[in-house]
Structure formats: C-alpha cells, structure tokens
Amino acid sequence: MAKDYDNANPQQIAQWQKDSPMQWLWESYQVSTKIYGDVAKSNKLDDAYYQANIPVVQQRIEMAGIRLAGELNKIFAAYPVTGKAETHIGTPMAANVPKVIDIKDAASHLNEWVSLTAKAYSTRTMGEMTLVNLGAAYPDQLLTLVLREGAKDKFKDLEGKIITVSGKVIDYKGKPEIIVTDEQQLKINE
C-alpha cells in the first residue's frame, strides 16, 4: 500500500517537515472549506465528487504522515537508543520459551507466557470457540482454555485427559484464561 501512495520527493518532504503546525492547520482549513463547499453546491456525494477529491485526501494523508515522522524524529533525537533494543516482533514461537508453572499459580502469572500441565475437567462448545476448564469443573476451574480457529477443530473430547498448554495468561472476569489458536500450543499427555 505504501508504494501506491508514497509519491513525495525529497524536496517536498523537506518542505512539509519545515512548515509549522499553524501552517498545517491553515492548509487543512482551506482544503476542508473547498471540499465541503463543493458538497453544499450540489448537496450530493456521487462518484464524480469522490474521484475529484480522493487525490487531495491521499496527499493530505501523505503530508500528515511525513510531518508526524518529522516531529517524532525531533522529539526522539534527544533520547538516543542505548544498549540493545529487544522486541518479540518476528521472533519465532520456538524462541519464546514459556515459563513452566503449576496450574494453582496461573492467576499470579497474568500477561506472561507460560506452560502448564493439568487435567481437563469439563468442556463446552459455544459457536466459534470451545471452553476447557482445567484444575476443576466450572465454576471452580483454576484456568480456562479458549480453543479457537485450528485448535478448536483439532482437539475434541478433552474431558478427563491430562494436557499441556502453552500461551499467554490473561484475566477474564477475575479468572485466568489462555486463548489457544494454534494446535502446537496444546498437547494431550494421556
């Protein structure tokens, strides 16, 4: 998408980033006045109106992005990155080694990637998901698994089985929960 709309040359970029925010506001006011004035004349938004104004809107979006990038560069220039920047973006799942925990401790590991092994006591399918209660039957479960997408179709009849699950523990109405979308997150041990 960027290649379709990234048409600014270096001179335009330099000029747009040099303009003051007051200049930006004035330009926006002028463009808005013209675009809305055209609607007031004909009182309709047809394809001709769209075709006439979409290039203006696309240019304004491009200018806004370039100007925002310039402002952010100014702000962050005073705060250089030191040390190693860490990110999980693009990291293979195998590299994200989950912390092995006991199911009784799941509630104290919210927003952490964990791995745990427990017995599935009850299940319930609801539309696009299957709920699996671990550690005890509903409503006393210690953790709920929410099986979606490929995992929902792959794992059936889990009741009474010992399973190992890996994923991020989240809070749902005061109870810990792990959403499982990839079948590799779940393994049946028994």
Instruction: Note the pLDDT tens digit of each residue in 126-154.
Output: 888 999 999 999 999 999 999 988 788 78
Half-sphere exposure (Cβ direction) of 48: Cα atoms closer than 13 Å: 5
Sorted by sequence, the CB contacts under 8 Å of residue 96 that are 6+ apart come out as: 88, 113
**Which of these three, 35, 52, 77, is where a domain ends?**
77
Do 108 and 59 belong to one domain? no
Do 115 and 184 belong to one domain? yes
Do 72 and 97 belong to one domain? no
Do 63 and 110 belong to one domain? no
The answer to whether residue 13 is domain-embedded is yes
Do 56 and 133 belong to one domain? no
pTM of the model: 0.51
Do 71 and 99 belong to one domain? no
Greater pLDDT, 83 or 89 = 83
Neighbours of 90 (CB within 10 A): 6
Do 118 and 61 belong to one domain? no
Output the pLDDT for position 6.
67
The answer to whether residue 50 is domain-embedded is yes
Do 34 and 58 belong to one domain? yes
Greater pLDDT, 43 or 186 = 186
Do 106 and 69 belong to one domain? no
- Can you give the residue range of the structural domain that contains 35? 2-77
Q: What is the mean pLDDT of residues 14-43?
A: 83
Kindly tell me the sign of the dihedral angle through the C-alpha atoms of 10, 13, 19, 23: positive
pLDDT band at residue 47 using 50, 70 and 90 as cut-offs: confident
For residue 79, is pLDDT > 90?
A: no
Whichever domain contains 136, its CATH number is 2.40.50.140
**Which of these three, 22, 52, 77, is where a domain ends?**
77
Half-sphere exposure (Cβ direction) of 147: Cα atoms closer than 13 Å: 25
What whole-number distance in Å separates Cα of residue 17 and Cα of residue 111? 39
- Look over the chain and give the mean of its residue pLDDT values, rounded to a whole number: 84
The answer to whether residue 164 is domain-embedded is yes
Do 71 and 105 belong to one domain? no
Output the pLDDT for position 86.
57
Do 33 and 112 belong to one domain? no
Query: Per the structure, how many domains does the chain have?
Result: 2
Which residue is associated with the tokens 């979308």? 181
**Which of these three, 48, 77, 106, is where a domain ends?**
77
Do 56 and 108 belong to one domain? no
Output the pLDDT for position 85.
56
